[in-house]
Structure 1
Amino acid sequence: MTTVVLMAKECLPGRVKTRLHPPFSLVDAARIAEASLSDTITTLSALPVERRVLCLDGEDAPHLPPGWEVLPQAAGGLDERIGAALDACRGPALVVGMDTPQLSADDVADIGGWPDDVDAWFGPAEDGGFWALALREPRGDLVRGVPMSRPDTGARQRERLEAAGLRVGTLPRLTDIDDAESLRAVTGLLRDGRLTALLRELA
């Protein structure tokens, strides 16, 4: 059974996308986060996987299409939370975040079928982090202890995978929406969806 796990945070003003303020208000920054999450859910809902999990940091989950389940994020830092989500999977797993609404099925197409010469797939982000991590055999210890939210997070995570003897494939490099500059970089890559409509409204 292949599982896709979406790590998400409840989209409350002042709690998400605060680096978009300014130029956006905290309320509009939260709306951008909510639209980004919604578009990501739409993309992941179309993937040919058997299980879809929204791993939520918060109380109220967004509207989800049929077939999704909601699990609370574990306590601790992001490495601990991703690690716990991986430990809850059985069979191949893909973990992604909510900050890359430009994500398309093509970006993760290489994962399909799990080629014999790949044990893990790694999706690097422009800011030095990573937007996706897929493991043929999910193990939380492969993430725990990796320092998060740093320019070398992605490099350190890939080193951890390779040090464990895993053969690592590389997914396309994507930009996380963190601030106004990265939002502008992503805007031209978006498909018509909730975030595109919202940005038109805010403009």
Structure 2
Amino acid sequence: MCADHDSDGLAGSLGQVGLKLAILAKAPIPGQAKTRMIPALGAEGAARLQHRLIEYTLKTALETTSARNITLWTALEHDHPCFVDIRQRFGVTLRPQPEGDLGVRMHAALCSAGGPSLLIGTDCPILDKTLLKTCHKRLKDADSVFLPAEDGGYALVGVRRPDPRLFRGIDWGTSSVMSQTRTRLAELLWTLECPTTVWDLDTPQDLARLADMEALALEILP
């Protein structure tokens, strides 16, 4: 399905407006954030990890994208002190995620960009500035760009223009997400670029993997 030719007239110049970046983030509330990490870190430790992941993701994003082109889409508690602090320190826009499943929320964020855009979460610490820049470039020549994750989902989606059909009928939270998304892309006749496969920091087993990356672990682990 990955291809490097234009389809349906979608892939063209990004134009003079900077590429927009949306970030979906849950407030670092103990017991509600990074819940699969609670057996290893406790509720407070898992919340601290979430806080650090949000900040790390914002700092990485700002290495490739200006603050005026970044929107942090908040969940759980939209006026959480973490989000207020981030807005004041980094100057990014905050918007509450709408009601609905993940597909509805992602589509809303991509629609809000008003043009070609990327969307990420906060669970992929190996998504660095080099990889973000690569995704920026790939979206110049393809209708979509994704970073598939080892668990069957994906850590980044970029589109030339949003289409709600892309996110319909997807079994969110399962190992079928990326494969089902490839089917939707084929139905839309969209070209797809997948620069690499990544992994998310979701489970206690992932903590050991991150610990092996010492410099990164020092920035993120609570």
TM-score of the alignment, normalized to the shorter chain, above 0.5: yes
Structure 1 range deviating more: 149-158 or 137-146: 137-146
- Cα 1:198–1:176 shift into 2, 3 Å: closer
Alignment pair present for 1:152 and 2:157: no
Q: Is the helix fraction higher in 1 or 2?
A: 2
Q: Secondary structure at the match of 1:15?
A: coil
Q: Which gives a bigger RCO, structure 1 or 2 (Cα 8 Å, sep 6+)?
A: 2
Match of 1:52 among 42, 48, 70: 70
Match of 1:75 among 69, 87, 99: 99
Match of 2:40 among 14, 23, 39: 23
Equivalent residues of 1:20, 1:178 under 8 A apart: yes
Q: Secondary structure at the match of 1:12?
A: coil
- Cα 1:116–1:107 shift into 2, 3 Å: closer
CA RMSD of aligned residues (A): 2.0
Q: Secondary structure at the match of 1:41?
A: helix
Equivalent residues of 1:143, 1:157 under 8 A apart: yes
* 1:11 equivalent in structure 2: 28
Give the drift of 1:47: 0.8
Equivalent residues of 1:4, 1:53 under 8 A apart: yes
Counterpart AA for 1:196: L
Equivalent residues of 2:139, 2:158 under 8 A apart: no
Show structure 2 runs of 5+ residues with no match.
1-16
Show structure 1 runs of 5+ residues with no match.
none
Equivalent residues of 2:56, 2:220 under 8 A apart: no
* 1:196 equivalent in structure 2: 218
* 2:144 equivalent in structure 1: 120
- Cα 1:168–1:198 shift into 2, 3 Å: closer
Q: With structure 1 as the length reference, what TM-score do the two structures score?
A: 0.88
Structure 2 CA distance for aligned equivalents of residues 89 and 63 of structure 1: 23
Give the drift of 1:118: 1.1
Give the drift of 1:56: 0.6
Equivalent residues of 1:51, 1:67 under 8 A apart: no
Q: With structure 2 as the length reference, what TM-score do the two structures score?
A: 0.81
* 1:131 equivalent in structure 2: 155
- Cα 1:41–1:191 shift into 2, 3 Å: farther
Equivalent residues of 1:122, 1:158 under 8 A apart: no
Deviations 1:77-133 (A, max 9, x none): 111111111121211110001101222011122233456641100110111110000
Larger radius of gyration: 2
Give the drift of 1:139: 2.7
Structure 2 CA distance for aligned equivalents of residues 34 and 106 of structure 1: 23
